[in-house]
């Protein structure tokens, strides 16, 4: 097979591992910077060009689209869909998962466990917004934030009011969520491929830090997840429309609650923690499922 990986940096761990896994299985693989792709958008002969050449002959595309380039990156994925190339995660699903508010609304509609969440544009009724999520301590999140950036724990109602007003003064869209005290700075990252959780790890934030992101000094260990957690992770990925996803959840007193569904989860933490060849599992899934016409949206939406 000829596989393309949409990634801005070929040297990133996740990109390197996917390249290695594909070559180990005798596939031709090429890393493409999505920002260097440009498109001929026509009705009957859509094309994608890259550094002066027409891209053709690809059997599958693995999008590794960073949050900062979601708009252009998904446009490139959509163009591949239009010419009939199998895309591991499709453009609509990536866009859906990147919109924190939209993704939470979709998950809530299907009855999945979530932290109590409030969203507002005006700061006129901040007190009521805070009370909606049960008061302080609570978490304030910028909708556009990633990897723990733009996430603040407000321990008092007064602090919450100040943070909300500060974010809104910057014209930032924010979510206000209940703080799951019993999680104690821990969360679970489940790696979903198709309809299976193929690997899971428990992430623990450093002392005094409620965010568990590994690049912020957190640590990870293997974990045996419950059948309910496994089912929740698979359902969340399916609701987003993602074939491959990293589903982050907390263990609360009322069961698993989903924090985020990531369309480009990193491989380094999960592989080094669990010792599993997750990159190889991704390529194996493509081998089994990639075929002309298997793209569900074909660039629609």
Domain layout of the chain by residue ranges: 2-89, 96-112+182-284, 117-179
DSSP-assigned states of every residue in 234-253: HHHHHHHT-SEEEEEEEEET
Q: What is the pLDDT of residues 249-277, one digit of tens each?
A: 999 888 899 999 999 999 999 999 999 99
Q: Give, for 219, the enclosing helix (H) or strand (E).
A: strand 219-222
Report the distance separating Cα 165 and Cα 156, nearest Å.
14
Instruction: Indicate the range of 107-111, 137-141, 284-288 predicted with least confidence.
Output: 137-141
3-state class (DSSP) for residue 6:
strand
Residue 97 confidence (pLDDT): 92
Q: How confident is the model at residue 169 (pLDDT cuts 50, 70, 90)?
A: confident
Q: What is the pLDDT of residues 95-106, one digit of tens each?
A: 999 988 899 999
Report the distance separating Cα 136 and Cα 133, nearest Å.
8
Q: What are phi and psi of 160, to 5 degrees?
A: -60, -45
In this predicted model, which residue has the larger pLDDT, 199 or 294?
Answer: 199
In this predicted model, which residue has the larger pLDDT, 27 or 42?
Answer: 27
CB neighbours of residue 251 within 10 Å:
19
So what's the architecture of 96-112+182-284 in CATH? 2-Layer Sandwich (3.30)
Instruction: Indicate the range of 146-155, 167-176, 291-300 predicted with least confidence.
Output: 291-300
- As a CATH number, domain 117-179 is 3.30.1490.20
Residue 299 confidence (pLDDT): 45
Query: In Å, how far are 122, 161, 284 from 128, measured between CA atoms?
Result: 12, 11, 50
Q: What is the pLDDT of residues 127-148, one digit of tens each?
A: 898 999 988 899 988 876 555 5
CB 87 within 8 A of CB 97: no
pLDDT at 301 > cutoff 50? no
- As a CATH number, domain 2-89 is 3.40.50.20
pTM given for the model: 0.87
Instruction: Indicate the range of 52-56, 241-245, 291-295 predicted with least confidence.
Output: 291-295
Task: Tell me the pLDDT of the chain averaged across its residues.
Answer: 89
């Amino acid at each position: 097979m000829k596989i393309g990986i949409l990634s801005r940096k070929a040297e990133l761990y996740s990109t390197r591992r996917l390249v290695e896994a594909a070559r180990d299985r005798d596939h031709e693989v090429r890393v493409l910077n999505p920002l260097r792709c440009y498109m001929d958008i026509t009705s009957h002969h859509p094309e994608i060009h890259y550094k002066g050449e027409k891209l053709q002959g690809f059997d599958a595309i693995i999008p590794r689209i960073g949050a900062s380039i979601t708009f252009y990156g998904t446009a490139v994925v959509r163009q591949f869909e239009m010419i009939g190339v199998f895309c591991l995660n499709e453009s609509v699903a990536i866009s859906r998962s990147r919109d924190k508010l939209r993704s939470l609304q979709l998950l809530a509609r299907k009855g999945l466990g979530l932290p109590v969440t409030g969203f507002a544009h005006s700061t006129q009724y901040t007190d009521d917004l805070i009370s909606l999520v049960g008061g302080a301590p609570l978490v304030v999140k910028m909708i556009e934030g990633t990897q723990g950036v733009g996430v603040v724990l407000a321990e008092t109602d007064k602090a919450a009011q100040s943070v909300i007003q500060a974010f809104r003064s910057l014209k930032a869209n924010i979510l206000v969520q209940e703080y799951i005290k019993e999680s104690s700075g821990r969360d679970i990252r489940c790696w979903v491929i198709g309809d299976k959780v193929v690997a899971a790890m428990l992430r623990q934030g450093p002392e005094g830090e409620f965010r568990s992101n590994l690049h912020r000094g957190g640590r990870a260990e293997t974990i045996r997840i419950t059948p309910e957690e496994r089912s929740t992770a698979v359902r969340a990925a399916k609701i987003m429309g993602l074939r491959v996803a990293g589903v982050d959840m907390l263990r609360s007193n009322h069961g698993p609650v989903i924090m985020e569904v990531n369309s480009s989860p990193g491989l380094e933490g999960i592989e080094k923690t669990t010792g599993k060849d997750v990159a190889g599992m991704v390529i194996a899934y493509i081998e089994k499922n990639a075929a002309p016409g298997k793209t569900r949206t074909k660039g629609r939406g």
